[in-house]
Structure 1
Amino acid sequence: MWDVFNEPQGAIQSPTDRMDNLVVNVLGNIREKSRKRDYDMQTTHSRFEPQQPLGGEADVRTTAAPNHLKSRKHGVLSMYSDTKQRMKQHAREYDFMPFLQAARRNPSRSALPDDKAKKRGRRATVFSVTGDEYTGEWLDNKKHGRGTQVWKKSGSIYNGEWKMGKRDGFGTYSVLVPDTKTYAKKYCGEWKNGMKHGHGTFLYHRCSVYEGQWSEDQRSGWGRMLFNGGDTYEGDWTKDKEHGLGIRRYANGNWYEGSWRDGKKNGKGKLYYCDRGHLYEGLWVRGEPKCGTLEDFGGDHAAQPAKCPIPQVKLADMEMVLQEAHLAHLNC
Structure 2
Amino acid sequence: MKPIKVMIVDDSAVVRQVLSAMLAEHPGIEVIGVAVDPLFALDKMQREWPDVLVLDVEMPRMDGITFLKKLMTERPTPVVICSTLTTAGAQTTLQALAEGAVGVIGKPGHGLKQFLHDTAEELIQAIQSAARANLSRLVPRAASRPLAELALPVAHPAQRNATEMLVAIGTSTGGTQALEAILTRLPPGCPGLLIVQHMPERFTAAFAERLNQLCRIEVLEARDGERVMAGRALIAPGGRHMLLTRSGAQYRVEVRDGPPVSRHRPSVDVLFRSVARAAGCNALGIIMTGMGDDGARGLKEMREAGARTLAQDEASCVVFGMPKEAIKLGAAERVFPLCDIPAAILASTNARGGA
Which one has the bigger strand percentage?
1
Structure 1 length as normaliser, TM-score?
Answer: 0.22
Look at both structures and tell me which one has the larger radius of gyration over its CA atoms.
1
Q: Which of the pair has the greater relative contact order for Cα pairs under 8 Å at 6+ separation? A: 2
Which one has the bigger helix percentage?
2
Structure 2 length as normaliser, TM-score?
Answer: 0.21
